[in-house]
Structure 1
Amino acid sequence: MANQPQNLLEVADCLLRIEVELRRLDCWSAEYPSEEALQSTQPFAVDTLEFTEWLQFIFLERMKVLVENDRPLPSVSGMAPMAEEHFRGREEGIGRQLIRELELMDRLLSGG
Structure 2
Amino acid sequence: MHRTEQVSVLLLKIRTEMEVLELWQSSPPSAEALASTQPFCVDTLHFTEWLQWLLIPRLQEMIRQELPLPQSSQIQPMAEEVFKQVQADTDRLLELIEQLDAQLSVHH
Give the alignment's TM-score, normalised by structure 1.
0.89
TM-aligned CA deviation for residue 89 of structure 1: 4.5
Q: Which runs of 4+ in 1 moved over 3 A?
A: none
Of residues 2, 6, 9, the one that matches 2:5 is 9
Distance 1:89 1:100 in 2: 17
Taking only the aligned residue pairs, the percentage that are identical comes to 41
TM-aligned CA deviation for residue 90 of structure 1: 4.2
The amino acid that maps onto 1:57 is W
* Cα pair distance change 1:42/1:66, threshold 3 Å: same
The amino acid that maps onto 2:23 is C
Deviations 1:21-67 (A, max 9, x none): 11011011111110100000111000000000000000011011001
How big is the alpha-carbon RMSD for the aligned residues of Structure 1 and Structure 2?
A: 1.4
Residue 102 (structure 2) pairs with residue 111 (structure 1): no
The amino acid that maps onto 1:82 is M
Q: How many residues align?
A: 106
TM-aligned CA deviation for residue 98 of structure 1: 0.7
Alignment correspondent of 1:34: 30
Name structure 2 gaps, 5 residues minimum: none
Distance 1:19 1:90 in 2: 16
